[in-house]
């Protein structure tokens, strides 16, 4: 496992150091263009431990800045690679505008809800961020559907844990680190673990163009991913590099939740004509036995090692084909 981290501007730095189509996953949290270097005015926390030297982007440059770094992100991602961009709402439109001029495709617009001390009395309290999850077309993207919760795991109310974990509102609290030095707005490890594990595999390469407190780098390395990234602020960079040096690859592997139960082990594999034929035959057989489509599909999921949607889509397609051929 290796890491390459540069104290450079990410736009010029990525042109110099990162080849086209070479990155599996980008997770990044760009400066906000809202005087991020003065954020302490809004947040209820002691500033003594917050790292100085955060490099902010003037508002009037935010649009062109976003276009430039997102162009680089598009270039360096592998086909099928994913990008998660964390953004507040103030300049979100610039980021969306830039993304829409690329070949990247939107998969989800995630709302990350957290608790954090923003002082407001005469309006509602701001407690969410946006996470834009996009992919580069050209190959199937990595999405490890059952990496955290198995298909049959349920909570006390009987709701599927896998389904709730994959809803697009994430409630993950920020980590308070009293007495420890931190970057302004450091992302919680839980949030990073979730994105990294769903959208990459061990030995993949994860890039963060705006490292700040190095949280993406530390969690990625801790999950056995290679890391490449940039941080323009010199003091923040030096502090981050010290932490990286004492970070052991894979140190988080034992802390991750393993899914329970059986899996659709054939998920993602193409259906062969023989398998489709066998599926239809078995569908009729089990339907006669169980009498409902739902129970029949549940049985077939187990037998074919595939998810519900995959089985249902195949059956619907075969039924449609049969209907059409019986009409002619
Ligand atoms: C919002 S913070 C990132 C916080 C980070 N995700 C964390 O968990 O600590 C944005 C970071 O980007 C850095 N930055 C600003 N402009 C940059 C540029 N052109 N290239 C690289 N880093 C930059 C800032 O100094 C700041 O540390």
In a domain, 7, yes or no: yes
Q: Residue 166: inside a domain, yes or no?
A: yes
Task: Based on the fold, state whether residues 226 and 183 are members of the same structural domain.
Answer: yes
CB of 232 closer than 6 A to ligand 1? Answer: yes
pLDDT of residue 179: 52
Same domain, 184 and 300: no
Residues 11 and 66 both lie in one domain: yes
Please report whether residue 187 resides in a domain: yes
Mutating to test ligand 1, I would choose from 8, 83, 231, 241 the residue with most ligand atoms within 8 A of its C-beta, which is 231
Q: Are 3 and 226 in contact (CB under 8 A)?
A: yes
* Residue 264: inside a domain: no
Question: What pLDDT score does 303 carry?
Answer: 87
pLDDT tens by residue, 99-147:
999 999 999 999 999 876 667 889 988 889 999 999 999 999 999 999 9
CA of 213 to the centre of ligand 1 (A): 8
30 C-alpha to ligand 1 centroid (Å): 6
With a 6 Å cutoff on the Cβ, whether 13 touches ligand 1 is no
Q: Are residues 296 and 226 in the same domain?
A: no
The pLDDT tens digits of the residues spanning 303-324 come to: 888 888 899 999 998 888 888 7
Mutate to test the pocket of ligand 1, among 190, 210, 215 (most ligand atoms within 8 A of CB): 210
Residue 250 and residue 301 in one domain: no
pLDDT of amino acid 115: 79
Ligand 1 neighbourhood includes 33 CB (under 6 angstroms): no
Q: Which of 174, 216, 188, 227 is nearest to 84 (CA)?
A: 216
With b meaning 16 or more CB within 10 Å and e meaning fewer, what string describes 205-228?
bbbbbbbbbbbbbbbbbbbbbbbb
The three-class DSSP label of residue 237 is helix
Average pLDDT over residues 238-260: 95
| pLDDT number for residue 45 | 45
* Residue 175 forms part of a structural domain: yes
Structural domain tally of the chain?
A: 2
CB 209 within 8 A of CB 28: yes
Contacts of 89 (CB under 8 A, 6+ apart): 130
Residue 306 shares a structural domain with residue 191: no
Pick the last residue of a domain from 255, 290, 306: 255
Classify residue 265: in a domain, yes or no: no
pLDDT tens-place string over residues 204-223: 999 999 999 999 999 999 99
Residue 260 lies in a domain: no
Please give, one letter per residue, the 3-state secondary structure of 203-218: CCEEEECCCCCCHHHH
- State the CATH number of the domain containing residue 27: 3.40.50.150
Residue 266 covered by a domain:
no
Residue 287's region, left for phi above 0, alpha for psi from -120 to 50, else beta, is alpha
Task: For residues 52 and 123, state if they share a domain.
Answer: yes
Considering the domain architecture, whether residues 192 and 74 belong to the same structural domain is answered as: yes
Tell me which residue range forms the domain holding 309: 273-327
CA–CA dist 86, 213 (Å, integer): 15
pLDDT band at residue 29 under the 50/70/90 scheme? very high
Q: Mind listing the pLDDT tens digit for each residue in 148-189?
A: 999 889 999 999 999 999 999 999 987 765 555 555 568 999
Tell whether 321 and 251 lie within a shared domain: no
Q: Is the dihedral of CA 231, 234, 240, 244 positive or negative?
A: positive
């Amino acid at each position: 496992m290796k890491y390459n981290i540069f104290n450079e501007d990410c736009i010029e730095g990525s042109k110099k150091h990162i080849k086209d189509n070479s990155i599996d996953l980008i997770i990044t949290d760009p400066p906000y263009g809202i005087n991020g270097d003065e954020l302490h005015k809004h947040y209820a926390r002691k500033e003594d431990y917050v790292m100085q030297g955060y490099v902010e982007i003037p508002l009037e440059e935010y649009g062109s800045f976003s276009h430039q770094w997102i162009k680089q992100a598009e270039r360096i991602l592998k086909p099928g690679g994913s990008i998660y961009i964390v953004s507040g709402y103030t300049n979100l439109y610039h980021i969306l505008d830039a993304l829409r001029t690329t070949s990247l495709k939107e998969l989800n617009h995630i709302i990350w809800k957290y608790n954090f001390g923003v002082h407001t009395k005469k309006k509602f309290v701001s407690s969410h961020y946006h996470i834009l999850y996009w992919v580069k077309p050209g190959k199937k993207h990595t999405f490890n559907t059952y990496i955290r919760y198995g298909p049959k795991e349920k909570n006390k109310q009987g709701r599927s844990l896998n389904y709730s974990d994959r809803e697009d509102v994430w409630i993950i609290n920020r980590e308070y680190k009293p007495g420890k030095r931190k970057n302004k707005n450091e992302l919680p490890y839980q949030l990073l673990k979730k994105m990294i594990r769903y959208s990459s595999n061990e030995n993949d390469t994860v890039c963060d163009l705006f490292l700040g407190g190095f949280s993406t780098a530390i969690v990625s390395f801790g999950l056995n991913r290679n890391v490449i990234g940039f941080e323009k602020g010199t003091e923040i960079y030096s502090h981050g590099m010290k932490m990286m040096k004492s970070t052991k690859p894979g140190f988080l592997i034992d802390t991750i939740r393993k899914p329970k139960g059986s899996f659709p082990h054939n998920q993602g594999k193409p259906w062969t004509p023989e398998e489709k034929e066998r599926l239809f035959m078995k569908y009729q057989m089990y339907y006669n036995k169980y009498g409902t489509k739902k129970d029949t599909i549940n049985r077939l999921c187990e037998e074919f090692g595939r998810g519900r949607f995959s089985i249902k889509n195949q059956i619907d397609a075969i039924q449609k084909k049969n209907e059409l051929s019986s009409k002619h």
